[in-house]
């Protein structure tokens, strides 16, 4: 893919209805923001022609950013040394890149995971901006929007809302009111006194300055902390039709569990087999759970930020390998783990944040020391209800492809609504070592 950058610049919010106070504002990170991975998450959208012009799309983006000003803020520290967003300061803004592609969009459809996709968005290594957007115009008039955002600004649910809002603005639909709670996070408050009913060390956070002793469990970590040359890791898509899920997988669990729980349990079993893990080795699925509606009271509907928790299901490899009843048992473990990420756990997390707030950057999420090989851990991310597919820019063209870009992290599963299907099919982006990927592909639809 030959991509030629035409220009790059910084875009700032413009227009009426800004949610930003008049003066620069320091917005402290919540404990949920601090628990997220410290990287940019990048995605690519492909739209068939005709699509709105770049100026029209950028005008819509600038107006939309007025409603989501943290996206154009800066990640920094306040006077106490605690991490915060600086909104409305001298820096910030969103990086915009305009580029042309020598080929036609149809040459690259359907979109498949590939390092080539990295050319369609700005580099995510040490970026200067929290939000980066690249508009790629193909020779045929097709458009690929490459976008990345720092995860500490927002989770998938919030980014889905932002992208849907940008799409509405591009289609001329008036913007809704600014998120009323953007600068009021007082509802995320600890009890008095704060208390933690759950263990958050080693599951949500680690402490880099604790030394090597593990007598208090704070250095306990579930990942192997292994790394390999990224070239040894490959990404690929597995497609599961609605018929396969409803007529093959769910009957094996007596229809007890959701599509996500059932399919994740199936993939957990298959990836464990493809990795060739010993039968007595404990494997773990780490699931990101949206707790907006699980909190007590539920989070405001228009909250923009991070509100996710980690859930963990664990089993011996031999247990997962059992043919008769193995899928149902795995699905039950996934279901029970997700159920534990409830309002009580969320409140315990908030209290944990209050108790350890002064520790600043020494309080890091569990992702902080992981290498790029997670085995025997599986990291599962569901994008099935995040509204990413609702981004429509108008102009007569249609969304014809959506993918996260190349992610060299072994053991990652990202669940996506199947492209072109409205009946419940699911595409799963799988990231594995190349030497194990072929085995995974061969057994991916086997019910054994």
Q: 333-362: per-residue pLDDT in tens?
A: 999 999 999 999 999 999 999 999 877 677
Peptide bond into 79 cis (omega under 30): no
Torsion of CA 127, 131, 132, 138, to 10 degrees: 160
Q: Quick one: which of 28, 37, 363, 370 has its CA closest to 205?
A: 363
Alpha carbon separation from 436 to 65, 316, 442, 443 (Å, rounded): 42, 19, 10, 11
Q: Quick one: which of 5, 147, 140 has its CA closest to 64?
A: 147
Q: What single-letter DSSP state applies at residue 68?
A: -
Q: What is the pLDDT of residue 184?
A: 72
Identify the CATH assignment for 205-385+407-443 out of 3.40.1190.20, 3.30.1360.70, 3.10.560.10, 3.30.559.10. 3.30.559.10
Q: How far is CA 177 from the centre of its chain?
A: 25
Instruction: Give percent of the chain with pLDDT exceeding 70.
Output: 91
Q: Quick one: which of 383, 401, 372 has its CA closest to 112?
A: 401
Domain ranges (residues) in the chain = 3-170, 205-385+407-443
CA separation for the pair 415, 109 (Å, rounded): 19
Q: What is the pLDDT of residue 222?
A: 44
Q: What residue has token string 């509802």? A: 187
Q: For residue range 409-447, list pLDDT tens digits in order.
A: 999 999 999 876 567 799 999 999 999 999 999 999 999
Q: Which CATH superfamily is domain 3-170 in?
A: Chloramphenicol acetyltransferase-like domain (3.30.559.10)
Q: What is the pLDDT of residue 17?
A: 42
Q: What is the pLDDT of residue 385?
A: 87
CA separation for the pair 254, 236 (Å, rounded): 30
Identical fold, 3-170 and 205-385+407-443: yes
Spans in the chain with pLDDT lower than 70: 15-22, 176-183, 208-225, 360, 368, 420-422
pTM recorded for the entire structure: 0.92
Q: What is the pLDDT of residue 224?
A: 52
Q: Quick one: which of 100, 138, 135 has its CA closest to 11?
A: 135
Q: What is the pLDDT of residue 422?
A: 60
């Amino acid at each position: 893919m030959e991509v030629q950058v035409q220009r790059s610049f910084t875009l700032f919010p413009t227009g009426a209805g800004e949610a930003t106070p008049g003066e620069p504002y320091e917005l402290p990170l919540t404990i949920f923001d601090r628990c997220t991975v410290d990287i940019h998450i990048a995605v690519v959208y492909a739209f068939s022609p005709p699509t709105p012009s770049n100026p029209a799309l950028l005008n819509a983006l600038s107006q939309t950013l007025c409603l989501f000003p943290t996206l154009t803020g800066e990640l920094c520290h306040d006077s106490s040394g605690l991490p915060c967003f600086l909104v409305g300061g001298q820096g910030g803004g969103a990086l915009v890149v305009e580029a042309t592609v020598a080929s036609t969009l149809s040459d690259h459809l359907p979109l498949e995971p590939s390092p080539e996709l990295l050319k369609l968005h700005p580099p995510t290594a040490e970026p200067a901006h929290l939000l980066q957007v690249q508009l790629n115009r193909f020779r045929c008039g097709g458009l690929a929007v490459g976008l990345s955002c720092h995860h500490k600004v927002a989770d998938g649910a919030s980014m889905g809302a932002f992208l849907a809002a940008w799409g509405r603005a591009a289609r001329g639909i008036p913007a809704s009111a600014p998120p009323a709670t953007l600068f009021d996070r007082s509802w995320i408050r600890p009890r008095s006194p704060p208390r933690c009913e759950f263990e958050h060390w080693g599951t949500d956070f680690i402490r880099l300055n604790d030394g090597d002793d593990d007598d208090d469990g704070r250095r306990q970590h579930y990942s192997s902390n292994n790394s390999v040359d990224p070239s040894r890791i490959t990404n690929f898509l597995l497609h599961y039709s609605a018929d396969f899920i409803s007529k093959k997988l769910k009957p094996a669990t007596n229809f007890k569990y959701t599509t996500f729980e059932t399919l994740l349990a199936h993939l957990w079993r298959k990836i464990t087999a493809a990795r060739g893990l010993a039968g007595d080795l404990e494997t773990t699925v780490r699931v990101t759970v949206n707790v907006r509606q699980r909190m007590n009271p539920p989070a405001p509907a228009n909250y923009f930020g991070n509100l996710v928790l980690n859930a963990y299901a664990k089993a011996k490899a031999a247990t997962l390998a059992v043919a008769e009843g193995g899928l149902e048992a795995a699905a039950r473990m996934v279901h029970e783990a997700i159920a534990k990420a409830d309002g009580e756990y969320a409140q315990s997390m908030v209290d944990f944040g209050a108790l350890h707030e002064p520790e600043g950057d020494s309080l890091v999420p569990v992702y902080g020391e992981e290498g790029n090989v997670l085995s025997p851990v599986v990291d599962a991310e569901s994008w099935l209800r995040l509204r990413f597919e609702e981004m429509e820019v108008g102009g007569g063209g249609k969304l014809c492809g959506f993918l996260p870009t190349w992610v060299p992290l072994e053991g990652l599963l990202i669940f996506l609504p199947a492209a072109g299907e409205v009946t419940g099919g699911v595409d799963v982006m799988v990231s594995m070592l190349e030497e194990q990927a072929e085995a995974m592909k061969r057994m991916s639809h086997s019910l054994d």
